[in-house]
Amino acid sequence: MSASAALRSAALADVRVLLCDADDCLFASEEPAFAASTAVTNDLLADLGIDKRFTPDELRSTAVGKNFRATALELAATYGVVLEPEELERRVAIERREVSAHLSRVLEPDPAVGEPLAELGLRFDLAVVSSSALARLDVCFEATGLAGLFPADVRFSAEDSLPIPTSKPDPAVYAFAGEQLGGGDGETLAVEDSVVGVRSAVAAGFQTIGNVLFVAPPEREERIAALRECGAAVVVESWWELLELLPSTPRRPAMRLAPTPRPRPARR
């Protein structure tokens, strides 16, 4: 049985929750985000005495699917320098402000996302699971007109929703989202565009579909192969394709429990 046929099996009929990645999955935010983040990253490298500088494309290839916190810590470790916690928090705040402001200016509604998602929202509970900060997600959802489909109580951030901030591929944010939404075995399906995202979802125990809608055509074939290799059961090229793949049965009564208050990270 092919992967596509397997997803059409009886097990898929139990799916009631879609956990969607945000950046370059729900909106084309990676390229403009890295354009804004590159200046902040290069300023950090200069202040740490590191000679390396990135172009936006280089930074995107290095850090796609990760948040700035994880990228900054990895770069510091790679070059053997110490990034003090207080300085890290200051840089995280600067990067969040710069990127959010830029995304608010350049993102806009996309019918290729909004229309199929509106139909999916009639069949399934939708939630977002991201490495990005909640403030950045808020800006993106407002700018793209998707806020109504993903209200604040179903936005889960590896940066802000956990006691200790982290980033994909750490599965903690997916595990937390699953706990809050109460999905049992086979009831939750993740949708991801990046290798680190698929690894995160699969490690948390969720069946995962890749979506390469916003992956540049020259990079698409390689990305599809990489997503399959790290655990994506199927890779689609649009939300419309995903809509056709999933069961068309009406939404069953919601099983979601009222989310418990999300812990805020203790800032050092």
Same domain? For 81 and 17 the reply is no
Same domain? For 132 and 181 the reply is yes
Same domain? For 145 and 211 the reply is yes
Q: Is the pLDDT of residue 150 over 60?
A: yes
Mean pLDDT across the stretch 209-232? 97
Residue 250 lies in a domain: no
**How does residue 260 score in pLDDT terms, banded at 50, 70 and 90?**
very low
Same domain? For 194 and 231 the reply is yes
109-137 tens-digit pLDDT: 999 999 999 999 999 999 999 999 999 99
Same domain? For 23 and 154 the reply is yes
Domain stop point among 86, 106, 126:
106
User: Partners of 62 in the beta sheet?
Assistant: none
- Domains in the chain, number: 2
Same domain? For 101 and 113 the reply is no
Mean pLDDT (the chain, rounded): 90
Same domain? For 70 and 15 the reply is no
Contact 159, 134 (CB under 8 A): yes
Q: Is 129 helix (H, G, I), strand (E, B) or coil?
A: strand
Same domain? For 174 and 56 the reply is no
Residue 225 lies in a domain: yes
Residue 260 lies in a domain: no
Residue 252 lies in a domain: no
Same domain? For 47 and 136 the reply is no
Domain stop point among 51, 82, 106:
106
Structure tokens at 223: 């990305």
Q: Is the pLDDT of residue 267 over 70?
A: no
Same domain? For 125 and 200 the reply is yes
Rounded to whole angstroms, the Cα distance separating 241 from 150 reads 20
Q: Per-residue b/e over 52-66, b at no fewer than 16 CB within 10 Å?
A: eebebeebbeebbbb
Contact 130, 137 (CB under 8 A): yes
Domain stop point among 69, 90, 106:
106
Residue 263 lies in a domain: no
What separation in angstroms does the CA of 264 have from each of 103, 164, 169? 24, 8, 20
Contact 142, 109 (CB under 8 A): no
Q: Is the pLDDT of residue 34 over 90?
A: yes
Q: Is the pLDDT of residue 264 over 70?
A: no
Q: What is the pLDDT of residue 186?
A: 83
Same domain? For 129 and 19 the reply is yes
**Residue range(s) defining the domain that contains residue 97:** 30-106
Residue 267 lies in a domain: no
Residue 233 lies in a domain: yes
58-96 tens-digit pLDDT: 999 989 889 999 999 999 999 999 999 999 999 999 999
Residue 144 lies in a domain: yes
Same domain? For 24 and 35 the reply is no
Q: In CATH, what number is assigned to the domain containing residue 125? A: 3.40.50.1000
